[in-house]
Structure 1
Amino acid sequence: MEFLILVAVLCGFIGLYIATMYLNKKVKVPESCRAAYLEAQTCETCTSRGGSGGSCGFSDALEFMKEVKL
Structure 2
Amino acid sequence: MFGLSELAVILVVVIVVLAVKKGPELARSAGKSARILKAEKRAAAEGDAPRVVPGEVVPPEGPTGPDARG
Q: What is the TM-score normalised by the length of structure 1?
A: 0.38
**Structure with bigger gyration radius:** 2
The higher relative CO (CA closer than 8 Å, separation ≥ 6) is in: 1
State TM-score, norm by structure 2: 0.38
Please state which structure has a larger fraction of its residues in helix: 1
